Amino acid sequence: MSKRHAFFVSDGTGITAEALGLSLLSQFSHVTFERTTLPFIDSVDKAREATAQIDKAAQEGDGRPLVFDTIVDQGVRAELAKANAFFVDIFGTFLKPLEQELTTHSSYSVGKSHAISDRQAYKTRIDAVHFALDNDDGARTRHYDQADIILVGVSRSGKTPTSLYLALQYGLRAANYPLTEEDLDGETLPKVLKPYKSKIFGLLVDADRLAAIRNERMPGSKYASPRQCEIEVRAAQTIYKREHLPCMDVTELSVEEIASRIMQLTGIKRRLS
Amino acid sequence: MSKRHAFFVSDGTGITAEALGLSLLSQFSHVTFERTTLPFIDSVDKAREATAQIDKAAQEGDGRPLVFDTIVDQGVRAELAKANAFFVDIFGTFLKPLEQELTTHSSYSVGKSHAISDRQAYKTRIDAVHFALDNDDGARTRHYDQADIILVGVSRSGKTPTSLYLALQYGLRAANYPLTEEDLDGETLPKVLKPYKSKIFGLLVDADRLAAIRNERMPGSKYASPRQCEIEVRAAQTIYKREHLPCMDVTELSVEEIASRIMQLTGIKRRLS
């Protein structure tokens, strides 16, 4: 296995450079990458420091470092370009062709993509986060009329992280409600959810996987036993089927994938862009 | 103002294509973009549907649509390329040069970047989310020994969304603790926080902005009055200074920016990559 340094360099948070770089690097699974993110490189001086750091890494690894950068300012980019590295230069590559296509000049302004674009968007997002918190795990149900979606599922099926992700990423008001033993025994939807059927989305998870997750939390408990998990998962499935609820097996999915697929399946429109 | 369609097309969640595309488009602030994300385009059939949708948009807008895609599979990409559009083709542009640089072939496997990479990473992340929830708003303090960071600040200064973002994005265990009237009156750090001084990070926010945020929640209250907000903000500032705590004004920052800057300022290492 060879080892290479990879740098994600940005004039903002570095989130985009990182996401893009990781997405490209994930295609080279037989190379080990030593990864470093350098955010807020927004001046020639900072670029000079970054260049020094990259050059230092160049002397260590098996080959020159890879640099994925989303720096807008041409002077800063030019300074960075002095580093002994292989560049995946997003703005350098795509801005000129885009300018030609749009027959207009870019504004070359820094760090725009994760900045607060407007107050309203900020408020939408923060409100969504607080909505998800206030309506987590069935804590309250009286605000379900304001929910964009209500996730249901057995304990530890991924409801909470998905709700929070939907709030943070898309500004959606996501409540979540656990299917309890009583609901599962009766194989019926909890009464409190019935008026909101059109907003409900059911999560399913493989019983063995669920048992493993629960075992981390309460080792050796009945709650974590494969048998109990299987009974609960089957009952949840029966409820979704009987009530004709949209649902999805999330066993092999990341939180991002669960969130995206739910939006695709339900057609819910994001409140943030 | 001209108007153009912009499509973000991906074989996975579309998050990377979107982030990259928005980052490039934010440079063209005088053009209005009608944005559409097409996730999970992972077969030639789906690419054909996407192409039809893009071609339809081409007949509506002022000029052909822009397409930002992060599709790995060459057959799927070739199908998409038939659309009447301007392409920002990430993999097509950068994979070949990367293969040459790494003197190896890419695996051309689909949707890797936001998939669950391993069970341990999944667990780290979910645990971090539950940690943030359990330790939100000073609800519990007995787990602070396990915290990576403890955010402090006055009510509605952005502690909760930042904690959750640090958990979801970086797998960090972020607790948060509100500075209450008692702490602020005495201009001292709450006793319960004293043993954990090295983990504390203070948030500051402009008093007028704080008043506006609080007014949304409790219009006309003392809590939301400019005077009360100013008193609280000043007292928080005094505490941070007296206790030599790292702190930051977050008024103009997005949640992503706050999180990245905190990590940069404190040197805390992410638990997820």
**pLDDT exceeds 70 at position B117:** no
User: What pLDDT does residue A160 have?
Assistant: 96
User: What pLDDT does residue A109 have?
Assistant: 63
> Is the domain defined by A2-102 classed in CATH 2.60.40?
no
**pLDDT exceeds 70 at position A35:** yes
* Percent of chain A's residues with pLDDT above 90: 73
The neighbour count for residue B100, using CB atoms within 10 Å, is 10
**pLDDT exceeds 90 at position A181:** no
In chain B, list all ranges with CATH 3.40.50: 2-102, 119-266
Residues B221-237 pLDDT 10s? 999 999 999 999 999 99
Tell me what the mean pLDDT of segment A238-254 comes to: 95
> Is the domain defined by A119-266 classed in CATH 3.30.70?
no
Higher pLDDT, B219 or B2: B219
Amino acid at B63: G
- Identify all chain A residues contacting B11, using CB atoms and an 8 Å cutoff: none
**Mutation site, B113, B156, B163, interface A, largest A CB count within 10 A:** B113
Reported confidence tier of residue B121, pLDDT bands at 50, 70, 90: confident
User: What pLDDT does residue A42 have?
Assistant: 94
Amino acid at A112: K
User: What pLDDT does residue B110 have?
Assistant: 60
Residue among B102, B161, B273 minimizing CB distance to A35:
B273
Higher pLDDT, B5 or B104: B5
ipTM confidence score: 0.86
Q: How far apart are CA A54 and CA A64, in angstroms?
A: 9
Burial string for A73-105 (b: 16+ CB within 10 Å, else e) reads: beebbebbbebebbbbbbbeebbeebeebbeee
Reported confidence tier of residue B116, pLDDT bands at 50, 70, 90: low
Residue among B15, B216, B264 minimizing CB distance to A39:
B264
Burial string for B155-175 (b: 16+ CB within 10 Å, else e) reads: bbbbbbbbbbbbbbbbbbbbb
The nearest CA of chain A is from the CA of B235 a distance in Å of 24
Tell me what the mean pLDDT of segment B139-153 comes to: 94
The neighbour count for residue A182, using CB atoms within 10 Å, is 9
- Cβ <8 Å between A108 and B27: yes
The nearest CA of chain B is from the CA of A20 a distance in Å of 6
- Cβ <8 Å between A136 and B133: yes
The nearest CA of chain B is from the CA of A25 a distance in Å of 9
Reported confidence tier of residue B1, pLDDT bands at 50, 70, 90: low
pTM of the predicted model as reported, rounded to 2 decimal places: 0.88
Q: How far apart are CA A158 and CA A176, in angstroms?
A: 10
Tell me what the mean pLDDT of segment B127-154 comes to: 94
Listed range (A1-5, A264-268, B17-21) with the worst mean pLDDT: A1-5
The nearest CA of chain B is from the CA of A28 a distance in Å of 5
The one-character DSSP state at A141 is -
User: What pLDDT does residue A207 have?
Assistant: 97
Reported confidence tier of residue B106, pLDDT bands at 50, 70, 90: confident
Q: How far apart are CA A51 and CA A57, in angstroms?
A: 10
CA A38 to chain CA centroid, nearest Å: 20
A153 CB burial (10 A radius; 0-12, 13-18, 19+): buried
* Percent of chain B's residues with pLDDT above 70: 96
- Cβ <8 Å between A12 and B107: no
The neighbour count for residue A71, using CB atoms within 10 Å, is 27
End-to-end CA distance of chain A: 40
